[in-house]
Structure 1
Amino acid sequence: MTLDDLDRALLRLLVDDATLPAAALGRALGLSQPATWRRIKRLRAAGVLAGRHLDLDAQALGFGVTVFLGIKLATKGRVSLEDFERAITAIPEVQTVTHVLGLYDYRLRVVARDLADFERVLRRRIMTLPGVGDVEANVLLSEERRPGPL
């Protein structure tokens, strides 16, 4: 799908506030509400708009620590990647699981209430999974968000 300037402007508006109705979006773009809705529908059908997401503030919910883990599987032959992925995604503190190429096989984003809680999750849940070998932890100090569409 080829995006034109209006599509890009619409995406910027939706990234800023996905709750805006099509009429308000249309006014901002100089389009009618039906024309704006057709563009949104076309972007959804093409997979450019892939759902709506709600950003929760982990800190406000009591999760004061975010840690990025690099995990290298020790026994790739014995434990399938699918088995590892199924087991790791069953741990609620693990927010994202990314299979990567490089020093580690997986990168995880893990949230915990504090460092003691993270240590518990690491020792009792993550390190006990079959196939887990080397693990590297990086504690998140701050996060800058890059707003807007790609």
Structure 2
Amino acid sequence: MENTLDDLDRAILTALVSDARISWKDLAADVGVSSPTIRDRVRRLQDRGIVQVFSIDISSAALGYTLEAVVRFRPLPGKRHVLEQQIQNTDRIVQCDKVTGEDGFVARVLLKDIGELDPLLETFGRMATTNTAIVKSSPVRMRPPPF
């Protein structure tokens, strides 16, 4: 399926990245076309798999999570599957990638304070070794790919 974008598609995506809740009317005005055109174009972007979801960004700090950590998990022999299940079942892990190399998984973990780190990591002790780094800042948060 062809997934090339024209200038109108790019303008629509740029506006939606900025505010996914924008009304069809306002989006149409922003990019200079009619509301029906916007609805059709956005539906086509969805049908093509380019737009997958409309989402919100929730502030973890406003919910009391003052620390974020990056944890690298190295599965113990024969424990990769059970480790993956435990990662999926741990709500403080908000993002995780299965990776190549010595580590099997790299995860982002939210913490209310540093005292929560050791108890959380201990739940993985029989499945993996871990290496943890506390996030100081995030100069680049997850962003959309270039279009």
1:23 is aligned to 25
Check whether the contact 1:85–1:97 (CA below 8 A) recurs between aligned residues.
no
1:113 is aligned to 112
Q: Which amino acid aligns with 1:66?
A: E
Check whether the contact 1:9–1:29 (CA below 8 A) recurs between aligned residues.
yes
SS of match in other structure, 2:109: strand
Identify unmatched segments of 5+ residues in structure 2.
none
Identify unmatched segments of 5+ residues in structure 1.
none
For residues 145 and 91 of structure 1, the distance between their equivalents in structure 2, rounded to whole angstroms, comes to 25
For residues 149 and 98 of structure 1, the distance between their equivalents in structure 2, rounded to whole angstroms, comes to 17
Report the alpha carbon displacement of residue 74 of structure 1 after superposing the two structures with TM: 1.8
Q: Which amino acid aligns with 2:90?
A: I
Report the alpha carbon displacement of residue 148 of structure 1 after superposing the two structures with TM: 5.5
SS of match in other structure, 2:59: coil
Question: Matched residues, percent identical?
Answer: 25
Which structure's relative contact order is higher, taking Cα pairs within 8 Å and 6+ residues apart?
Answer: 1
TM-score of the superposed pair, with normalisation by structure 1? 0.88
1:127 is aligned to 125
Calculate the aligned-residue CA RMSD, in Å: 1.6
1:37-116 equivalent positions in 2, closer than 5 A: 37-75=39-77, 78-79=78-79, 81-116=80-115
Question: 4+ residue stretches of structure 1 with deviation over 3 A?
Answer: 145-149
For residues 74 and 84 of structure 1, the distance between their equivalents in structure 2, rounded to whole angstroms, comes to 9
1:141 is aligned to 136
Aligned residues, how many?
143
